[in-house]
Structures are given as C-alpha cells and as structure tokens.
C-alpha cells in the first residue's frame, strides 16, 4: 500500500511540474489552490481535476503576463542585452504566442529542462 501511494505521489508531482506554468497562465487563484493542495498531499485525481478546471477558464492578459514573467526569471541573469530588450518589448504587448515562442527559444538555448518540459511551452 505504501509503495502505491508513493508512486501516486510521484505521478502527481510530475503532472504538477508539467502543468504549473500552464495553470498560472490561466489562473493565479487556481495555481495558488493547487500549490496548497500539493502541500496537503492531494491525490493525483484531485490535482488533475483542479488543473482541468483551471485550463477550462479564459486566461486574462494579467495571468498570461504573470506566468511569462515567472518563466523569464530563469533567464534574467543569463540573457544577453539584446534578449533583455526583446523581452521588455514583448512583455508590453499582448501577443502571448510570440512571447511564449521567445521564452521557448531561450529555454532551448540555455537548456532549461524544467521549462522545456512545461506544457505551456509545448502547445
């Protein structure tokens, strides 16, 4: 029984790692609720349902921008001046597809596996 719950927990952690920024992209409130549920060791089914709920919402410009700013945090110390300028321009616009593509290119360039495995960059 212990082995099963350990495997369930591992599966849940992987799901959350893959969906974290995707959820944040749609809803900061759901992101916070799921973080809390993860701390409380919620089941895979519970977390999966909360993620589905979040992804059924219409993201706001604010939630999308917030998620992109969090992902940018992985690069702000290593990005070139040109990349920083490009980010500053893109974050002001509402072309989030272009901004996500830019973040994906940076994740590939700087080999940020955590972001490359994130579903928000693999749409």
Q: Which domain holds residue 101?
A: 61-116
**Per-residue pLDDT for the chain (123 aa), expressed as one digit of tens each?**
456 688 889 999 999 999 999 999 999 999 999 999 999 999 999 999 999 999 999 999 999 999 999 999 999 999 999 999 999 999 998 889 999 999 999 999 999 999 999 999 997
Could you give the dihedral angle defined by the CA atoms of residues 52, 56, 62 and 64, in that order, rounded to the nearest 10 degrees? 70
Residue 123 lies in a domain: no
Report H helices in 27-95. 28-39, 44-55, 61-72, 81-92
pLDDT of residue 94: 82
Query: Are 50 and 86 members of one domain?
Result: no
Q: What is the value of pTM for the model shown?
A: 0.90
Query: Are 69 and 50 members of one domain?
Result: no
pLDDT of residue 5: 81
Query: Are 111 and 66 members of one domain?
Result: yes
Residue 75 lies in a domain: yes
pLDDT of residue 24: 98
Query: Are 9 and 44 members of one domain?
Result: yes
Contacts of 44 (CB under 8 A, 6+ apart): 8, 11, 12, 15
User: What is the number of domains present in the chain?
Assistant: 2
Query: Are 15 and 30 members of one domain?
Result: yes
Residue 68 lies in a domain: yes
Query: Are 84 and 51 members of one domain?
Result: no
Residue 30 lies in a domain: yes
Closest to 103 measured CA to CA, from 27, 16, 25 = 25
- Tell me which of 13, 35, 55 is where a domain ends: 55
**For 45-64, b where at least 16 C-beta lie within 10 A, e where not — what string?**
eebbebbeebbeeebeeebb
CA 47 – CA 110 distance, rounded (Å)? 30
- Tell me which of 12, 29, 55 is where a domain ends: 55
- Tell me which of 36, 55, 74 is where a domain ends: 55
Total Cβ atoms within 10 A of residue 11: 14
Closest to 66 measured CA to CA, from 113, 106, 33, 29 = 29
pLDDT of residue 3: 63
């Amino acid at each position: 029984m212990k082995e099963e719950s350990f495997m369930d927990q591992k599966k849940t952690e992987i799901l959350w790692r893959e969906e974290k920024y995707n959820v944040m992209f749609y809803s900061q409130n759901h992101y916070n609720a799921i973080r809390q549920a993860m701390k409380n060791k919620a089941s895979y089914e519970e977390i999966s349902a909360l993620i589905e709920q979040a992804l059924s919402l219409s993201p706001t410009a604010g939630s999308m921008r917030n998620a992109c700013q969090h992902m940018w945090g992985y690069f702000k110390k290593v990005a070139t001046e040109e990349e920083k300028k490009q980010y500053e321009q893109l974050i002001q616009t509402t072309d989030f597809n272009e901004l996500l593509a830019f973040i994906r290119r940076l994740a590939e360039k700087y080999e940020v596996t955590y972001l490359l495995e994130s579903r928000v960059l693999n749409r």
